[in-house]
């Protein structure tokens, strides 16, 4: 097996163009497990650890550009203000060791339906983009178009993920995950939720309950309508139990889970409705407090 170690981003893109089957490695927390279990035997490994740009983030206007290899521990320490949903999701990943190595770029590269960053990225809004680059240039892939199947994504063979562009939060965000224990656990199912008061929308993300991460479109539309019709963005008034209940039902309906070793489809549907109701209640309480304290 060849081991490629580019020192710069341009060298990395050139190496990927020359060796499209080379397997990129960032934190290695997925790649090394799969190599050790002989899941893959790639012709070459493309080590991205010397490419410093991948470990940097910047905040340009209202958008955070998160380098593909920024580890979860730094997202928690440095970005919980602008990216609260993603930081909460990062908290639930593996253990301190995994959070020190694992990255959102790696989570996207693996594209597991159970990856924890996906529900948070989907909930962060429609303007989340994966920056995919090759020697041919850079293209922005909308997060809704990125996941194409179980552990499959829309990257071309010569492309690498440079960064993810995520709008900074303009309202409260939440992330909720169910596992068979508190830490070091793959999600039985997960849910991300965000309020976007600036444009009067809400964002959702369902994890581990469909072949790909996905949003609950009907639930988003329902809540957007209720909040607008009742003037709730302005008043911060009570949502009402029937709204919370209906939102949970619509999230449950958006999932298409399977029975597997981690849980049954029925349990996942039930759990998603519960997580949807809880995250909506928590975020709305926070939003109401903000409105009241500003009045
Ligand atoms: C003990 C343990 C616990 C875990 N717990 C969780 C958990 O709770 N939640 C969770 O979501 N995940 C978990 N994982 C999985 C893993 O940690 C995450 O998926 C992590 O985000 C992977 O990031 P990485 O940088 O280590 O990726 P790597 O292992 O380096 O790469 C993962 C995939 O992405 C590709 N890739 C990496 N960088 C790029 C790039 N720049 N461009 C294109 N492709 C790229 C690789 O080729 C590979 O296919 C766990 C893993 C272990 C071993």
Q: How confident is the model at residue 61 (pLDDT cuts 50, 70, 90)?
A: confident
What is the tens place of the pLDDT at every residue in 37-56?
998 889 999 999 999 999 99
Position 176 scores a pLDDT of: 98
Q: State pTM to two decimals.
A: 0.98
pLDDT at 266 over 90: yes
Position 275 scores a pLDDT of: 98
Task: Evaluate: CB of 93 within 6 angstroms of ligand 1.
Answer: yes
Residue whose CA is at the smallest distance from ligand 1 atom 35? 109
Share above pLDDT 70 across residues of the chain, in percent, rounded to a whole number: 100
- Alpha helices (H) along the chain: 9-18, 31-36, 72-79, 84-91, 96-101, 104-110, 117-123, 143-146, 217-229, 232-235, 241-254, 265-294
Whole-number Å distance between alpha carbons of 158 and 149: 19
Q: How confident is the model at residue 184 (pLDDT cuts 50, 70, 90)?
A: confident
Residue of 48, 86, 107 to mutate, ligand 1, most atoms within 8 A of C-beta: 107
DSSP state of 80: T
Report the pLDDT averaged over residues 258-267: 94
pLDDT at 60 over 90: no
Position 183 scores a pLDDT of: 84
Q: Is 149 exposed, middle or buried (CB count within 10 Å of its CB: 0-12, 13-18, 19+)?
A: exposed
Q: How far apart are the CA of 120 and the centre of ligand 1, in A?
A: 16
Q: Which of 177-186, 210-219, 220-229 has the lowest mean pLDDT?
A: 177-186
């Amino acid at each position: 097996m060849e081991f490629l170690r580019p020192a710069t981003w341009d060298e990395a893109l050139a190496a990927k163009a020359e060796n499209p089957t080379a397997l990129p490695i960032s934190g290695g927390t997925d790649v090394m497990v799969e190599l050790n279990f002989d899941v893959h035997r790639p012709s070459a490994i493309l080590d991205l650890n010397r490419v410093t740009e991948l470990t940097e983030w910047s905040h340009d206007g209202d958008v955070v550009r998160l380098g593909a290899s920024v580890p979860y521990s730094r997202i928690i320490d440095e970005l919980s203000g602008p990216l609260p949903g993603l930081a909460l999701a990062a908290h639930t990943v593996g253990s301190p060791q995994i959070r020190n190595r694992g990255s959102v770029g790696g989570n996207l590269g693996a594209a597991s339906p159970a990856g924890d960053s996906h529900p948070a990225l989907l909930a962060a809004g429609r303007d989340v983009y994966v920056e995919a680059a090759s020697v041919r240039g850079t293209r922005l892939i909308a997060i809704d178009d990125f996941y194409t199947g179980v552990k499959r994504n829309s990257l071309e063979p010569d492309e690498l993920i440079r960064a993810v562009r995520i709008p900074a939060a303009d309202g409260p965000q939440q992330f909720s995950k169910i596992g068979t224990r508190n830490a070091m656990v793959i999600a039985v199912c997960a849910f991300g939720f965000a309020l976007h008061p600036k444009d009067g929308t809400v964002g959702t993300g369902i994890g581990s309950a469909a072949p790909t991460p996905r949003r609950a479109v009907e639930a988003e539309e329902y809540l957007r309508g209720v909040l607008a019709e009742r003037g709730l963005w302005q008043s911060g008034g009570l949502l009402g139990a029937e709204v919370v209940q209906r939102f949970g039902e619509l999230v449950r309906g958006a999932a298409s889970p399977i029975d597997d070793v981690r849980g049954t489809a029925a349990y996942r549907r039930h759990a998603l409705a519960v997580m949807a109701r809880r995250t909506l209640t928590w975020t709305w309480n926070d939003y109401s407090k903000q409105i009241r304290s500003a009045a």
